Chains A and B, each alone.
Chain A
Amino acid sequence: MQSWRRKSLWLALSASWLLLILLGGFPLLRPAVPPRPRPGAPQRWPRWLDAELLQSFSQPGELPEDAPRPPQASRGSSSCNWETCFDTSKCRGDDLKVFVHPVAAGPISETRRKILASVEGSRYHTFSPAEACLRLFLSLDPPAGECSPVPTPWNKGRNHLVLSLHPATCPRTFQLGQAMVAEASPTVDSFRPGFDVALPLLPEAHPLRGGAPGQLRQHSPQPGVALLALEEERGGWRTAGTNSSACPWAGHCEQDPAPEQMRPGETLPNATFCLISGQHADASSRFLQALQAGCIPVLLNPRWELPFSEVIDWTKAAIVADERLPLQVLAALQEMPPARVLALRQQTQFLWDAYFSSVEKVIHTMLEIIQDRIFGASAHPSLLWNSPPGALLALPTFSTIPQNFPFYHLQQGSRPEGRFSALIWVGAPGQPPLKLIQAVAGSQHCAQILVLWSTEQPLPSRWPEIAVPLTVMDGHRKVSDRFFPYGAINTDAILSLDAHSSLSTSEVDFAFVVWQSFPERMVGFLTWSHFWDEALGGWGYTAERANEFSMVLTTAAFYHRYYHTLFTHFLPKALRTLADEAPTCVDVLMNFLVAAVTKLPPIKVPYGKQQQEAAPLAPGGPGSGPKHQPPAPDCINQMAAAFGHMPLVSSRLRLDPVLFKDPVSVQRKKYRSLEKP
């Protein structure tokens, strides 16, 4: 009897032990890593072999050595991470080359077509499977519901990325092996951080490129706008509650028991915060709507991984809160400091526009994340991902130091350099630009002069005596060469010039000082403006003088040297070819590029000679042309199509010296020669 009792006690004890071990092995908590069997790691109480070692914290002495351990071999597929399952040695020169597995014959769905076009338009794409270091496999098309078979060669999924822009609607028919998964809104449990890529859940009709801009028209919330919008069952949004979003602005809050306003059927919410609960299957598409609308997403325990969470700091644009504390969350929203509301609102718009507004941006962001993993230390710093203009427009191949870009001086507490390089393009026969060289070299800010000799004409025998170095480079007779990132350009600022340009030292000095205040913009002398032509149903542009402008001519303009890198390595080759074939387009293209990056107009500074000379700077771009001849009208429309939208922004102002043409003695004026009639 006694022994039986002892036995049952023993049994009960072992059973509870077993339970404990099981619970220990498979924690019931969320979020937690999915259970991964670890062979040969039995759970037990420690044997305290470390006792001696632990002592060493209080009595620093000789640390016992760790027992050596051989390097780990690659693990199985169930436990993949970047180090063990991706072979970076296939990416020669750290370059990502992406090959897309061909699709089986049959109709290609719209989504698939957009993805293919995006990948093929990327600078990472290759048609050669041998060259590829990443093989992309488009997993499935939801409408057809047909699951694709395993591609060949599959190679156990090594260096493969299985892509699905929609959550899996049919079960995967093949073993993932070592393949990475890029999936829309993956569940937190299945997502492998640092290996898989979380994509946004895009609507069917998401545009290929360009895409709708963010809805935000002003920085701060409008007074009286609802504090909170809630999702509706049928896809709309319902704004709820008081106009208390205005209350933090006034500095005093009172509870206003106003009835709920019902605005059914709205596709985009109009409120300061958008509450998105984690339960609904479409929560992540609601998330995108909120982002576009500039409505700060408030997520209650999302069960899905936020898109591009590897690189995007979502704490700057969204609020992830605990659904168990609804009152605390509501109070926190009501009392959120205006500075935080402002910052969150603006960040939603920046992120929407940089990474989400088109299929192309989403796909390119995905590839950029993988390229960053390959780059390792040379990847984008976090600042470049999380502040305008975003990582797709800030190439780490240019620099990984934020101060080298034109965009981050404020955040870094730095200033652009106080010198510039003049780059003079000689593309047409004529007198060598000796006078121009002298005027430019006379500027106290001029570091060097580079002459890009792009004509058959022999070089002049003598160059003017100047105080700064002058280098002649041999051009390739192509207009797009003007914007090549030459190694000789060693200053932040470039003064781009044409041999026919005519500038005074004063003009150069003043324009450069202005550029230092706006290092991300182009600062120029002569302008063009664009307009919508109702009759033609397209864009047009003109060199006529007008009350506003949206482009400055690059035949005399200051800008940051980073734009040469973007022009050459970011723009699609087709656009550069277009510029080479119709040289007048090159100015338009450069202005498109800078405007697309900055979302701001260029800056015009005074130019004294425009009244006297018939053709001071040929508006037709390099090479001479009649003054007001509008350049080939169609390049602007081709470029707007390629960009997916019209990036140009108009300005109605000119920046003049503070005392410009003021009725005060000319002796007091620093830039007096700007005023000579």
Chain B
Amino acid sequence: WDRGTNHLLFNMLPGGPPDYNTALDVPRDRALLAGGGFSTWTYRQGYDVSIPVYSPLSAEVDLPEKGPGPRRHFLLSSQMGLHPEYREDLEALQAKHGESVLVLDKCTNLSEGVLSVRKRCHKHQVFDYPQVLQEATFCVVLRGARLGQAALSDVLQAGCVPVVIADSYVLPFSEVLDWKRASVVVPEEKMSDVYSILQSIPQRQIEEMQRQARWFWEAYFQSIKAIALATLQIINDRIYPYAAISYEEWNDPPAVKWSSVSNPLFLPLIPPQSQGFTAIVLTYDRVESLFRVITEVSKVPSLSKLLVVWNNQNKNPPEDSLWPKIRVPLKVVRTAENKLSNRFFPYDEIETEAVLAIDDDIIMLTSDELQFGYEVWREFPDRLVGYPGRLHLWDHEMSKWKYESEWTNEVSMVLTGAAFYHKYFNYLYTYKMPGDIKNWVDAHMNCEDIAMNFLVANVTGKAVIKVTPRKKFKCPECTAIDGLSLDQTHMVERSECINKFASVFGTMPLKVVEHRADPVLYKDDFPEKLKSFPNIGSL
């Protein structure tokens, strides 16, 4: 026994007559006590675990979930053997509010063989228990001789919001569960005001509480197994606090968990301009064009470093002396394999938060446009900020997604042939991309930019920012606009990527917007030489 050290005692229903101890009737010593009816006087905060009083009805009765919304009775009391003082208070409420309050008691004249535990009566009316709980919005859970009551479990199962009236009762798993979201706790002293207290709660909040109550029962009350696992999880989280389950994981119902987004860059913060950005140029062997890109990009004031990702394993990069002389450090990284994913690798050489991904043939962007793009990124550091914009559309005939590069009024993606983003997304792309998307991209040698758009939109819940007007970009799909040849296969492939990624993500994370970012005075009637970014939009 070792004085209970590292022991866990389950005390499913504490206390017996006459004094109903809320802890344990034997010395618990150093043992952890998981008990079903702690009061604040006996509960060792942060040590003991308060567990539910298990209701056998959980297993016995199948109550299908009832949707939230107003129910026949506003307030219901279903417990038997209440103290007369409480019963008087409740009956006074019933007398005052009529139909909307229902106070039930034990049935006195049931025929033989009927389980009295499954019936409740009001005057001569007989009700099925616990089914009757589904007829009420709020259900009172009062203290009896014991603080913990199995009725709490029944009430939650019925999706009725428990009104807990038991001073000093430590609610089950209160160390991790947020009971404010699923219950109303009323001091015993204020019992006569309970009706007005409940009426002040807005309907929408009540519906949330109904959903939450049912979810708590499903997750933590419905079986001894659920109770035991939750207890062990709490103890596990105390031992490994840095890997503990979060508040949201304990408390958010699955529907909320599924639809909610927790943006990894949630702090509203405009990074200092002085930090600058790192330009990453992915190249294979177009050295002449690469050198032009390097020279152009090096003119951008906020550039702090240039990284060339040399993706050609058969050929060495040009000698040091041949590279353009620029004012910022230039580094060449050689890759082991010619993969598109290499452009999004979180290289140690990236020291700034802002990354500019740029293709080795993007020579048409002016220094003003790039500098402005960086300024826009600073205002939206959690987004992809890019130049050419694209759109995804639902094709009703084919019942699938379609890629669109025409002149549209909306955008949902930007090409990463020229885009600013936070370097954290490189880490996510390389190590946290869902499913087999990374392999798909490398195998098809296409769509790494669409994958990045999916990833960022999915994790932040936000749309891209397209900057500056449309320009002629040298890219396969732009030829369509030039009126030369429509590269049909390319468009089909891109559409396929969107459908593939949407199925891997299990949803369509891309967000459609109708705006783009321009300098404040763009195309305004204002002296050009006074504008910060005059050279924008020239073709």
| A positions within 8 Å CB-CB of B | 20-21, 23-25, 27-29, 31-33, 36, 38, 40-41, 43-50, 53-54, 56-57, 60-63, 65-72, 79, 81-84, 88-89, 94, 193-194, 216-220, 222-224, 246, 249-251, 313, 315-316, 319-322, 329, 332-333, 336, 338-340, 342-343, 346, 349-350, 376-379, 381-382, 386-388, 399-401, 410-414, 510, 513-514, 517, 527, 545-549, 598-601, 604-605, 611, 649, 651-664, 668-671
* Given A57-B56, A657-B409, A79 and B41 contact (CB-CB distance below 8 Å): yes
Contact across chains for B167 and A83 when beta carbons are under 8 A apart:
yes
Separation of A224 and B424 alpha carbons in the complex (Å)? 16
B27 touches A21 (CB 8 A): yes
Could you say which residues of chain B place their CB within 8 Å of the CB of A319? 241-242
B431 A251 Cβ-Cβ under 8 A = yes
B266 and A60 contacting across the interface, CB-CB below 8 Å: no
Known A-B contacts A43-B25, A60-B56, A412-B256; A66 and B146 likewise in contact (beta carbons under 8 Å): yes
Which B residues lie within 8 Å of A71 (CB)? Answer: 83, 85-86, 188
Instruction: Report yes or no: B519 in contact with A654, Cβ–Cβ below 8 A.
Output: yes
Measured between beta carbons, the chain A residues less than 8 angstroms from B531 are: 547
Would A655 and B187 count as touching, CB distance under 8 A?
A: no
Q: Contact residues of B with A, CB < 8 Å?
A: 3, 12-13, 16-21, 25-30, 40-47, 54, 56-57, 59-60, 80-86, 106, 115-117, 143-146, 149-150, 167-168, 178, 180-181, 184-190, 197-198, 200-202, 204-205, 208, 239-244, 246-247, 251, 256, 258-272, 275, 346-348, 350-351, 353, 372, 375-376, 379, 381, 389, 407-411, 422-424, 427, 430-431, 460-463, 466, 469-470, 513-526, 530-533, 539
| Cβ 8 A contact of A41, one of B21, B106, B269, B407 | B21
Asked if residues A547 and B532 are in contact (CB atoms below 8 Å), the reply is yes
A residues near B518, Cβ cutoff 8 Å: 653-656, 660
Question: Looking across the interface, which residue of chain B has its beta carbon closest to that of A21?
Answer: B27
List chain B residues, Cβ under 8 A from A399: 202
Q: A349 — which chain B residues lie within 8 A by C-beta? A: 267, 269
Known: A38-B41, A319-B241, A413-B256. A342 touches B407 (CB 8 A): no
* CA A222 to CA B60, docked complex, whole Å: 58
Query: Are B519 and A547 within 8 A (Cβ)?
Result: yes
Q: Can you give 5 contacting A-B residue pairs, CB < 8 Å?
A: A49-B16, A315-B246, A527-B520, A652-B376, A654-B519
Compute how far the CA of A17 lies from the CA of B538 in the bound complex, rounded to whole angstroms: 93
Instruction: Check A653–B517 contact: CB distance below 8 A.
Output: yes
Task: Please indicate the chain B residues that have their CB under 8 angstroms from the CB of A27 in the complex.
Answer: 28-30, 44
Cβ of A38 to closest chain B Cβ, rounded Å: 7
Is there contact, CB below 8 Å, between B376 and A653?
yes
Across the interface, do B185 and A315 meet the contact criterion of CB distance under 8 Å?
no
Contact B204 A599 (CB under 8 A): no
Say which residue of A45, A410, A547 sits within 8 Å of B260 (CB atoms). A410
B53 CB to nearest chain A CB (Å):
10
Interface contact B188-A61, CB-CB below 8 Å: no
Partner of B409, one of A56, A411, A658: A658
For residue B314, give the distance in angstroms from its CB to the closest CB of chain A.
27
State in angstroms the CA–CA spacing of A250 and B424 once bound together.
11
A-side contacts of B81, CB under 8 Å: 65-68
| Closest Cβ neighbor of A511 among chain B residues | B515
Contacts of A663 in B (CB 8 A): 539
Of the candidates B16, B47, B251, B259, the one whose C-beta lies within 8 Å of that of A46 is B16
Q: How far is the CA of A379 from the CA of B181 in the complex (A)?
A: 10
Report whether B26 and A31 are in contact in the complex, using a CB–CB cutoff of 8 Å. no
Let me know if A88 and B187 touch, CB within 8 A.
yes
A90 to chain B, nearest CB (A): 12
* A65 touching B80 in the complex, CB below 8 Å, given contacts A29-B30, A223-B351, A547-B520: yes
Q: Check B513 against A56 for contact (C-beta < 8 Å).
A: no
| For the complex of A and B, 5 pairs with smallest distance between CB atoms | A24-B27, A413-B259, A66-B144, A65-B81, A60-B56
Pair A29/B117 contact, Cβ less than 8 Å: no
- The docked-state distance in angstroms from the alpha carbon of A347 to that of B409 is 37
User: Is the Cβ of A658 less than 8 Å from the Cβ of B241?
Assistant: no
How far apart are the CA atoms of A600 and B269 in the complex, in Å? 8
User: Which of B185, B348, B521 contacts A223, CB < 8 Å?
Assistant: B348
Task: Give bound CA distance, A663 to B463, whole Å.
Answer: 25
How far apart are B243's CB and chain A's nearest CB, in angstroms?
7
Is there an interface contact between A33 and B185, defined as CB atoms closer than 8 Å? no
- Contact, CB under 8 Å: A47 / B16: yes
Instruction: Determine whether the beta carbon of A20 is less than 8 Å from that of B27.
Output: yes
Interchain CB contact under 8 A, A652 and B348: no
Name the distance in Å between B526's Cβ and chain A's nearest Cβ: 6
User: Beyond A24-B26, A48-B16, A377-B197: 13 further Cβ-contacts under 8 Å?
Assistant: A46-B26, A72-B188, A84-B167, A219-B267, A321-B241, A332-B242, A346-B266, A382-B180, A410-B263, A413-B259, A510-B515, A654-B520, A654-B522
B44, B265, B269, B517: which contacts A654 (Cβ < 8 A)? B517
Known: A24-B27, A315-B241, A411-B261. A83 touches B168 (CB 8 A): yes
Q: With a CB–CB cut-off of 8 A, which chain B residues contact A28?
A: 30
Which of A69, A329, A652 lies in contact with B520, CB distance below 8 A? A652
Bound form: Cα–Cα A65–B116 in Å: 12
Contact of A659 among B264, B462, B470 (CB under 8 A): B470
Chain A residue numbers with a CB within 8 Å of B514 are 510, 513-514, 657-658, 670-671
| Interchain CB contact under 8 A, A33 and B43 | yes
CB of A325 to closest CB in B, whole Å: 9
CB-defined contacts of A89 to chain B, threshold 8 Å: 190
A28 — nearest CB in chain B belongs to which residue? B30
Is A376 in contact with B185, judged by CB distance below 8 angstroms? yes
What residue in chain A is nearest B87 (Cβ atoms)? A68
Q: Using Cβ atoms and an 8 Å threshold, which residues of chain B touch A56?
A: 56
Instruction: Check B16–A50 contact: CB distance below 8 A.
Output: yes
Out of A40, A50, A69, which one reaches B83, CB within 8 Å?
A69
Residues of A within 8 A of B21 (CB): 41
B13 lies within 8 A of A54 (CB): yes
Beta-carbon nearest neighbor of B266 in chain A: A346
* Cβ–Cβ < 8 Å partners of B243 in chain A: 332
Report Cα–Cα, A546/B526, bound state, in Å. Answer: 9
Using A63-B150, A411-B260 as known contacts, say yes or no to A49 and B520 having CB atoms under 8 A apart: no
Are B247 and A315 closer than 8 Å at their CB atoms? yes
**Which residue of chain B is the closest to A59 with respect to CB atoms?**
B56
Given contacts A24-B27, A61-B117, A349-B267, contact A656 B167 (CB under 8 A): no
A217 to B267, CA, bound (A): 11
A417 to nearest B CB, angstroms?
14
Q: Assess whether A61 is in contact with B470, with CB atoms less than 8 Å apart.
A: no
**Complex Cα spacing A653 to B373, Å:** 10
Docked complex Cα distance between A145 and B165 (Å): 44
Q: Which of B115, B188, B242 has the most CB of A within 10 A?
A: B242
How far is it, in angstroms, between the C-alpha of A386 and the C-alpha of B462 when the chains are bound? 21
Contact (Cβ within 8 A) A653 B520: yes
What is the distance, in angstroms, from B485's C-beta to the closest C-beta of chain A? Answer: 21
Do B44 and A33 touch (CB < 8 A)? yes
Question: Which residue of the partner chain, among A20, A376, A653, A664, contacts B407 with CB atoms under 8 Å?
Answer: A664
Residue of B nearest to A298 (CB): B242
Residue from the list B3, B187, B381, B460 in contact with A83, Cβ < 8 A: B187
In the complex, which residue of chain B has the Cβ closest to the Cβ of A598? B268
Kindly report which residue of chain A lies nearest to residue B346, judged by CB atoms. Answer: A249
CA distance A660 to B524 in the complex (A): 12
Q: Does A45 lie within 8 Å of B25, measured CB to CB? A: yes
Q: How far is the CB of B318 from chain A (nearest CB, A)?
A: 27
| Least CB distance, A304 to chain B, in whole angstroms | 13
In the complex formed, the residue of B with least CB distance to A379 is: B180
Q: Judging by beta carbons under 8 Å apart, are B469 and A661 in contact?
A: yes
Contacts of B375 in A (CB 8 A): 652-653
Which chain A residues border B54 with CB–CB below 8 Å?
57
| Residue of A69, A246, A548 with most chain B CB atoms under a 10 A cut-off | A69
Q: Indicate if the CB atoms of B41 and A36 lie closer than 8 Å.
A: yes
B460 to chain A: closest residue by CB: A410
- Is B27 in contact with A23, judged by CB distance below 8 angstroms? yes
* Interface contact B117-A193, CB-CB below 8 Å: no
Which residue of chain B lies nearest to A329 when distances are taken between CB atoms in the complex? B242
The answer to whether A41 touches B19, judged by C-beta atoms less than 8 angstroms apart, is: yes
Task: Determine which residue in B82, B115, B266, B271 has the highest number of CB atoms from chain A within 10 A of its CB, and name it.
Answer: B266
